[in-house]
Amino acid sequence: MKNKIQSVILVGFAIFFTACNSTSTKKLDQYALIPLPETVTNQQGALPITSLQTLSTPQENSYLAQEITAFLQTEANLRLAWKSQGDLRFSLDKSLKGSEYYEIKIQTTGIDVRSASDEGLYRAWQTLKQLILLADDATKLPTGLISDQPTYSYRGAMLDVARHFFSISEVKRFIDFLALYKFNYLHLHLSDDQGWRIEIKSWPQLTTIGGQSEVGGTTGGFYSQKDYQDLVAYASDRYITIIPEIDMPGHTNAALNAYPELNCDGKAPPVHTGIEVGFSSLCIEKPVTYQFVDDVIRELADITPGPYIHIGGDETHATPNDQFIAFIDSILPKVERYGKTPMGWFETRASNYTGKMVHQYWANEGNEPQNVKKGNPIVMSPSSFAYMDMQYDSLSKFGLHWAGYINVRKAYDWDPKSVVPSLPLDDIIGLETPLWSETISDNKEMDYLLFPRLIGYAEIAWTRSENRAWEAYKKRVTKHLDWLQTQGVIPYDSPLLKAN
């Protein structure tokens, strides 16, 4: 009997301790944050979430304040009132270095977030958001300090809305994910052989005719300039800059179909709904081509507040090389004339343009052209590591595999500065992960290619390479996938995340 009582007491203690442990707040450095911050320091104690009653931000009615208020109401049932010295305080501190550097101090009485810029405060808020979303016990937060900053100033993703059209709301949903993972550029591939997606008022048939088609023969679509500006503003609230791309002189069948005069023979080629590339070219010799390019760049620059316009320039197999160089040399100054910095795929690196431009590396390895201009910034999108449209493996439902398969580990285990050692590494400003859309046409199909890989690219772009390790990342990304599934995302189910 005595023994029985003893064991009941022992079991009771065991249950009590397990219960305590499971409700005790996990330490700050045990949270599955992605991208992993530069430093996380634990302190004793916890902050009860309900003690957050008031919020302060540099501007009372900013988008930041609205996002915080709405999020905390939905996720934690808190109704924060704005106050100049709130319990949750976001403040600008010009003594801090680096434009996106931020510090978060969680104390038992409140939270202090500081950065030299509004952008830094927004990135910090994404970290806090993740702490709340990933908490085991959502009633409190562990105390401690986080200080953080990005490795790269350019952390981009690209969406091809030309092969298949994606609606404004589909793109906004994509932007929401980019924001949560601290991306700061969204490159929109707005034109290709299969469709032209942005209204150009001086050349209306680009969209009334060129916007109607897409891969597979289904109906495409296009953004009015107003739609596009709405998207730009939505991204800009989240400190994401939109980079519009008009791909030239190749990848132009939709424009050539809409305006026969842009063809050397004056005849419109048929609509293209397949996925072959490299057969179309604007007519390099005709003056009307340059009028067309000028109008397109001018209208695009007018509705694009960001610094860059991407002029494409890839895979121009239908344009003789000397003509290609002549064309690129003559259009890059137009971008500059309309107040923007040109960006181009790596083929444009052979241009004689002497101004500043950004080159986007994409080839498998070393397609460094002769006559290279060093010193211009490079964005890394190596196709065999960074292309989200590559299949994970031979069984993948969507995607292509011309650059090989990219499983979740391969997508994570590379570094922009070591993947192509022959490049001038100091010129590399970051990475961009493109999502070409030959094989996908809506959010659901897109999610399969995006997740989990997008999350890994976010970490490569932000977190220092010495702080990144696959085994630890694997555990963290699993938590994110659990959360994403509660948001309706069906990610690709990677066997690599199950293996020990």
Find, among 72, 23, 20, the residue nearest to 49 by Cα: 72
Residue 399 Ramachandran class (φ > 0 left, ψ -120 to 50 alpha, else beta): left
Q: Are 242 and 231 in contact (CB under 8 A)?
A: yes
> Among 125, 174, 362, 473, which residue interacts with ligand TNX (rule: CB under 6 A)?
362
Instruction: For the CB of residue 88, give the shortest distance to ligand TNX in the complex, in Å.
Output: 43
Told to check if 243 binds ligand TNX by CB under 6 A, we report no
Told to check if 389 binds ligand TNX by CB under 6 A, we report yes
Catalytic residues: 315
Gap between the Cα atoms of 113 and 444, Å rounded: 36
Told to check if 387 binds ligand TNX by CB under 6 A, we report yes
Told to check if 324 binds ligand TNX by CB under 6 A, we report no
CA 248 to chain centre: 23
Give the type of residue at 161.
V
200-214 burial code (b ≥16 CB/10 A, e <16) = beebeebbebbbbbb
Contact region with ligand TNX (CB under 6 A), list: 10-18, 62-70, 366-374, 381-389: 381-389
Gap between the Cα atoms of 340 and 355, Å rounded: 11
Residues 286-315 that bind ligand TNX (CB under 6 A): 314-315
Q: Which is nearer to ligand TNX, 315 or 336 (CB)?
A: 315
Q: Which is nearer to ligand TNX, 185 or 436 (CB)?
A: 436
Contact region with ligand TNX (CB under 6 A), list: 74-82, 215-223, 366-374, 383-391: 383-391
Gap between the Cα atoms of 46 and 137, Å rounded: 11
Q: Which is nearer to ligand TNX, 36 or 379 (CB)?
A: 379
Instruction: For the CB of residue 485, give the shortest distance to ligand TNX in the complex, in Å.
Output: 27
Told to check if 350 binds ligand TNX by CB under 6 A, we report no
Find, among 180, 181, 179, 207, the residue nearest to 195 by Cα: 207
Q: Which is nearer to ligand TNX, 102 or 362 (CB)?
A: 362
User: How many residues sit close enough to ligand TNX to count as binding (CB under 6 A)?
Assistant: 11
Instruction: For the CB of residue 324, give the shortest distance to ligand TNX in the complex, in Å.
Output: 14
* Interface characters, 182-201, with ligand TNX (x: CB under 6 A): --------------------
Told to check if 361 binds ligand TNX by CB under 6 A, we report no
Instruction: For the CB of residue 151, give the shortest distance to ligand TNX in the complex, in Å.
Output: 24
Residue 452 has φ and ψ, to the nearest 5°, of -85, -5
Q: Which is nearer to ligand TNX, 115 or 280 (CB)?
A: 280
Question: Which 3 state secondary structure label does DSSP give 12?
Answer: helix
Q: Are 380 and 416 in contact (CB under 8 A)?
A: yes
Segment holding 344, helix H or strand E: strand 341-345
> Among 318, 400, 496, 497, which residue interacts with ligand TNX (rule: CB under 6 A)?
400
Instruction: For the CB of residue 354, give the shortest distance to ligand TNX in the complex, in Å.
Output: 24
Contact region with ligand TNX (CB under 6 A), list: 178-186, 221-229, 288-296, 382-390: 382-390
* Interface characters, 13-52, with ligand TNX (x: CB under 6 A): ----------------------------------------
Instruction: For the CB of residue 350, give the shortest distance to ligand TNX in the complex, in Å.
Output: 15
Instruction: For the CB of residue 361, give the shortest distance to ligand TNX in the complex, in Å.
Output: 10
> Among 277, 428, 455, 489, which residue interacts with ligand TNX (rule: CB under 6 A)?
277
Q: Which is nearer to ligand TNX, 151 or 433 (CB)?
A: 433
Partner residues linked to 345 by β-bridges: 360
Question: What end-to-end distance do the CA atoms of the chain give, in Å?
Answer: 45
219 burial (CB, 10 Å; 0-12 / 13-18 / 19+) is exposed
Find, among 454, 452, 447, the residue nearest to 490 by Cα: 447
Told to check if 436 binds ligand TNX by CB under 6 A, we report yes
Q: Which is nearer to ligand TNX, 106 or 243 (CB)?
A: 243
Question: Which 3 state secondary structure label does DSSP give 439?
Answer: coil
Alpha-helical segments (H) within 181-252: 205-208, 225-237
* Interface characters, 140-169, with ligand TNX (x: CB under 6 A): ------------------------------
Q: Are 50 and 56 in contact (CB under 8 A)?
A: no
Residues 328-347 that bind ligand TNX (CB under 6 A): 345
Instruction: For the CB of residue 428, give the shortest distance to ligand TNX in the complex, in Å.
Output: 18
Find, among 254, 248, 436, the residue nearest to 344 by Cα: 248
Gap between the Cα atoms of 147 and 87, Å rounded: 19
Find, among 277, 310, 313, the residue nearest to 156 by Cα: 310
Q: What is the CA radius of gyration of the chain?
A: 25
Cis peptide bond N-terminal to 48, omega within 30: no
Residue 319 has φ and ψ, to the nearest 5°, of -115, 125
Instruction: For the CB of residue 118, give the shortest distance to ligand TNX in the complex, in Å.
Output: 33
Where along the sequence are the contacts to ligand TNX (CB under 6 A)? 277, 314-315, 345, 362, 383, 387, 389, 400, 436, 438
